[in-house]
Amino acid sequence: MGSNLFAATGLNRRNQRVQGLFHTLFGLMTLLLITPVLLILGMLLYKGGGMLSMDFLLTYPKDGMTAGGLLPALVGTIWLVSVALLVSVPIGVAAAIYLSEYAPNNWFTRIINLAIINLAGVPSIVHALFGVGAFVIFFGFGTSILAASLTLAIMTLPVVIVATRESLQAVPFAFREACWNMGATRWQTIRRVVLPNAVSGILTGIILEVSRTTGETAPVMFTGAVFFTPFLPQSVFDQTMAMSLHLFVVTTQVPGVPGELPFGVALVLIGMVLVMNSLSIAFRMYLRSRKKW
């Protein structure tokens, strides 16, 4: 008569133990997934940190690229990313506006969405082949920043479209309806109410795109980036070096490279990428805190 109705039974206790077990197990799995990032960064910092200096960033490679700096690769990457942005952002934002504000809910829109997903899934080397076939050869741009950037732009287009579309759709429908009822055209509504409230989301997507584009190697390898050139690019028709390709080159194509050099290059590259990604994430969090409705 004195037993406590709510005392834990043997079954309860076993369940609790199993529960705790799984909690730990999954937690460990998550940790194992995450630690590589930290380990990699740590290793890169340790082995490549010594290479970091203003000289490293601002001088040219020398001695057959076994020494010296990264300048042409850095500048080249900036060129590539900028031109790619110039092309992909207008097209991507336009596509997203179409999908979010105009597209009817029919099979054709579905095909567009499918095309975006597939464009995002095409292997990077196939993008390179496309770039060679289309821009280098067919349009006659030759291996140039233009060909490489266009290839990159098409490759990263889905990123811009998806980020923009999501930020547009985050603006409540009621705002649009209110404007339409007042006699505003679709564009007037978009320009005055929808876009201004989506710009921040779009920027987040753009930063993300920059980060992706910086790290890509295969699409630029045959379309405009070269192993070495002693000149900085002067126009979009020039060839150029690129940070991503440079890492590949000093790691695999150059004999006699001192151990720290590739680590230094990798460190700078991953530093650029991670900084931009973190910017994008931080920006997103800041936006979420500044609610406007």
Among 117, 170, 199, 258, the residue binding other proteins under the rule CB under 8 A is 117
N residues, the chain: 293
Residue 290: strand, helix, or coil: coil
Cα(268)–Cα(279) distance, rounded to whole angstroms? 16
Distance, C-alpha 4 to centroid of its chain: 59
Of 27 and 49, nearer to other proteins (C-beta) is 27
User: Which positions from 3 to 32 touch other proteins by CB under 8 A, shown as an x/- string?
Assistant: ------------xx-xx--xx-xxx-xx-x
Instruction: Find the binding residues for other proteins in span 67-86 (CB under 8 A).
Output: none
Structure tokens at 49: 């940190």
Among 181, 234, 235, 289, the residue binding other proteins under the rule CB under 8 A is 181
Q: Give the number of residues in contact with other proteins, rule: CB under 8 A.
A: 106
CB of 288 to other proteins, least distance (A): 11
Rule CB under 8 A: is residue 199 a binding residue for other proteins? no
Euclidean distance between the first and final Cα of the chain, in Å? 59
Rule CB under 8 A: is residue 253 a binding residue for other proteins? no
Among 33, 230, 235, 256, the residue binding other proteins under the rule CB under 8 A is 33
Rule CB under 8 A: is residue 91 a binding residue for other proteins? yes
Of 153 and 235, nearer to other proteins (C-beta) is 153
Rule CB under 8 A: is residue 169 a binding residue for other proteins? no
Cα(224)–Cα(230) distance, rounded to whole angstroms? 15
**Cβ-contact 189, 174 below 8 angstroms:** no
Cα(252)–Cα(191) distance, rounded to whole angstroms? 50
Structure tokens at 277: 């990604």
Of 58 and 115, nearer to other proteins (C-beta) is 115
Of 168 and 236, nearer to other proteins (C-beta) is 168
Cα(136)–Cα(225) distance, rounded to whole angstroms? 12
Cα(37)–Cα(269) distance, rounded to whole angstroms? 14
Q: What string of DSSP letters covers 70-123?
A: -HHHHHHHHHHHHHHHHHHHHHHHHHHHIIIII--SSHHHHHHHHHHHHHHHS-
Rule CB under 8 A: is residue 36 a binding residue for other proteins? yes
Cα(103)–Cα(125) distance, rounded to whole angstroms? 32
Rule CB under 8 A: is residue 241 a binding residue for other proteins? no
Rule CB under 8 A: is residue 288 a binding residue for other proteins? no
Of 207 and 236, nearer to other proteins (C-beta) is 207
CB of 3 to other proteins, least distance (A): 19
